[in-house]
Chain A
Amino acid sequence: MVDTTPRGLAAAAATMNRAPTRRSGGASLRVLARRRSTTAFLFALPLLAVVGGLIVYPGFYAIYLSMLNKAQTKFIWFGNYTFLFTRDSFWMVVQQSVLFAVTAVFFKALIGVITAHLVNNLPAKGQRKWRGMLLVPWVIPLSLSTLGWWWMFDPTYSAFNWAFAQIGGPHIHWLSEPAWARFCTILVNVWYGSPFFLIMYLAALKSVPGELYEAASIDGASAWQKLIHVTLPMMRNIISITVLFSLIVTFANYDVVRVLTAGGPRDTTHVFATWAFLLGIQSGDIPLGASVSLFMLPILAISAVFILRGVRRRGREI
């Protein structure tokens, strides 16, 4: 970040003044360099280059791609999109993606809040240990840990079915019945993503002044009322931001579905990323794949605007 406080700028300007300038053009360069906006721009330039190269260019290229025909020889405007809208399988993927992302994020946030509370109430000594252990799902490469889950869901070797069998439970076809397969993909995603919410909420919990809880105790609040009237309102911003962030990431999730079910049975667990991969890479229609993956963009962008606006407003309140 560029220090734009008056003192920081003065210091920067002083340093620049000391630099000897011999060439005739030096004076005007120096004036340029001393201007606040120029300095800021120069400092930000490497970052801008990275953003431009890695985000803006591929982004626009994807939009461009999604408007080509399958052979990429003709520009067909929104042809791919209008084609998709007529396909039932596309709407099934939309439904499944929304179900997958919304349910998973809801449970990640819920479990995050609950575990954060539990960990926060642990004595300070044991807390680090628990925090470390609870972070494990988040730090293992997702495709690897999903393989582990896949093994536990496996039709013949399923650890879960074995356990159920011990207590006389039913034998479940985890990954071959659509409803269970959907459940499993969401479960693994929740398992993987909850620790992120845990650490964010734990940090937020620690930043709520203890006096507020004491004041609430004296005001007559029960533990539950403290949660509803003190903790959650104090954490609203962090909850909004984590939910937004997680929603974006979960909508784009690829690994879990790819490894666990590869979209099956009968395409019922496909989400945008896996379906785009299927259409674009495996079936060779890259423009169609690109238009699938771009479909969520406007929806997420609009919800991001609303969530961030709420965050800003509350930031001013508190």
Chain B
Amino acid sequence: MANVALRKVVKKYDRTEAVRGIDLDIADKEFIVLVGPSGCGKSTTLRMIAGLEEVTDGEILIGGDLVNDVPPKDRDIAMVFQNYALYPHMTVYENMSFGLRLKKFPKAEIKSRVDHAAGILGITELLERRPRQLSGGQRQRVAMGRAIVRNPRVFLFDEPLSNLDAKLRVQMRTEIKKVHQTVKTTTVYVTHDQIEAMTLADRVVVMNAGTIEQLGTPHDLYHTPRTKFVAGFIGSPAMNFVNCKLVEAAGGGLSTRLGNGLTFKVPPDRTQRYKSHVGRELLFGLRPEHITEPRGDLRPDCQEFDVTLDVVEPMGMETMVYFMVEDTEVCGRVNPASAGAPGQPMRLVAELGNMHLIDPQTEAVI
């Protein structure tokens, strides 16, 4: 059990700067997820914590100790790899006990630890098999078991679920969460899948091009993204962005003019925040789930508007409707029963309490 701290950590490969100065404090027992698009430096960051990559600049501390020059084996960490990296010539038991055997643990202790971990993961019957004889999900469990038996100070996961099929991925996600709640080891988890990040993390680190875009709880990232990147990356389907102009409304307050004659009133509690930007061309952001069909009484922060549907995508539980605002496609999420047909007009409701305005120059959320 330990906290982990990164201080201005930089990693340069020959030409590319993969990580550009990351500051991060991970509390003891915390589950942190690094998420971001492919190539943004997540794995590099994780591998520096593991000691598999040297740190070009900055400091990494585990449990308060500077570990920059400590080899992986002395960092007391365990890692689960994307391809599991199980030793193919060893049985599951041998795979899980390898680290303990190297450390010359007594046989009985090894056995009880492996049995305990196998119990947690439900792989007790597989202990005599070889990795080759296991399914992807079982290999994944063994890889986690190998990490658990070591009882390390920190767990590191690098995209552990990306080789599994969709159904198994959801199942293993729950499993990982459960394991963390049982063993409560500090965990750093890397994924490019924002849903995984949102469901697993205590706090999420959104990375982009080697830097941290935003660090916060899943709730924070979803409701108060600080940049356009985070706003667009978190949430699925992604947030709609439409060019707009912020103007003074006729009856006082502010409104955003989106084109196609579409004007949304800014909720009164945002007036103060946006006042200094009046007259500017900005980006209006609203998530698909905040564009719905009319549902009973109109709440004060909601506004009805009419569109002509372009594309209709039934998803079963809900239906995605797409329409054009100027030349931007906008997505709404409506009840299947009320969805119109393509080419037909439809009345929709925008929940403007959830709108965002973004400065197109700095890409910061205002």
Contact = CB atoms under 8 A, between A and B. Distances in A.
Contact of B89 (A219, A225, A317): A317
A177 interface: no
Contacts of B130: 317-318
Contacts of B88: 234, 317-318
A234 B85 CA distance: 13
Given A209-B83, A217-B51, A219-B150, 19 more contacts: A214-B72, A214-B79, A214-B85, A215-B81, A215-B146, A216-B87, A216-B98, A217-B52, A217-B71, A218-B77, A219-B98, A219-B102, A220-B73, A220-B102, A221-B73, A221-B102, A233-B87, A234-B89, A318-B130
A211 interface: yes
B79 A215 contact: yes
A219 B99 contact: yes
B132 A317 contact: yes
Nearest to B71: A217
18 contacts: A214-B79, A215-B79, A215-B86, A215-B146, A216-B87, A217-B52, A217-B71, A218-B73, A218-B99, A219-B73, A219-B99, A219-B102, A219-B146, A220-B99, A220-B102, A233-B90, A234-B89, A318-B89
Contacts of A30: none
Nearest to A222: B73
Contacts of A234: 88-89
B90 to A, nearest CB: 8
Q: What is the interface of chain A mostly: helix, strand, loop, or mixed? A: helix
A219 B78 CA distance: 7
Interface residues of A, number: 21
Nearest to A230: B87
Interface of B: 50-52, 71-73, 77-79, 81, 83, 85-90, 98-99, 102-103, 130, 132, 146, 150
A312 interface: no
B87 to A, nearest CB: 6
Contacts, number: 69
Listed from nearest, the 8 A-B pairs whose CB atoms lie closest are A219-B99, A211-B85, A220-B73, A215-B85, A233-B89, A217-B72, A318-B88, A220-B102
Interface string A192-229: 00000000000000000101101111111110010001
Contacts of A233: 87, 89-90
Q: Which of A220, A222, A236 has the most CB of B within 10 A?
A: A220
Nearest to A314: B89
Contacts of B103: 220
A203 to B, nearest CB: 18
Contacts of B81: 211, 214-215
Contacts of A236: 89
Q: Which of B50, B51, B102 has the most CB of A within 10 A?
A: B102
